[in-house]
Amino acid sequence: MLLEKQIYDVLKTIYDPEIPVNIYDLGLIYEVDVDDYNNVDILMTLTAPNCPLAEGIVREVRDKVSEIEGTAKVQVDLTFNPPWDKSMMTEQAKLELGFL
């Protein structure tokens, strides 16, 4: 449970380069799964399927989560199903972006 909290804390430090909000609050993280051996699987999306920075964002997620002490293998998978939309953002993100 502590490792999962650390993972979410790290995800909140990673920002979409085009939007001044972290990827967690944007709703880009669909699932974080930590198994009994501390292998981490992250399922995430992007705001647009044709994002030219996709590779860099995925790499940053993998690298930063891998740096957390105690993690074993970190796998980040990208999906566009369901497609991202503004309703997936946290209230904080909506507030920061002026949607509330």
- CATH number (domain holding residue 55): 3.30.300.130
Exposure of 43 by Cβ count < 10 A (0-12 exposed, 13-18 middle, 19+ buried)? middle
What does pTM read for this prediction? 0.92
H or E segment to which residue 76 belongs: strand 74-78
pLDDT of residue 54: 87
For 19-33, the three-class secondary structure string (H helix, E strand, C coil) is: CCCECCCCCCEEEEE
The tens digit of pLDDT for each residue in 23-37 reads 999 999 999 999 999
| Domains in the chain, number | 1
CB 23 within 8 A of CB 14: yes
Q: What DSSP state is assigned to residue 84?
A: P
Exposure of 38 by Cβ count < 10 A (0-12 exposed, 13-18 middle, 19+ buried)? middle
Residue 1 scores a pLDDT above 80: no
Q: Is residue 97 part of a domain?
A: no
Distances (CA, A) of 64 to 10, 13, 88, 99: 7, 9, 23, 29
The tens digit of pLDDT for each residue in 37-73 reads 999 999 999 998 888 888 999 999 999 999 999 999 9
Q: Is residue 75 part of a domain?
A: yes
- Host domain of residue 19: 2-82
Q: Is residue 60 part of a domain?
A: yes
The tens digit of pLDDT for each residue in 80-91 reads 999 999 999 999
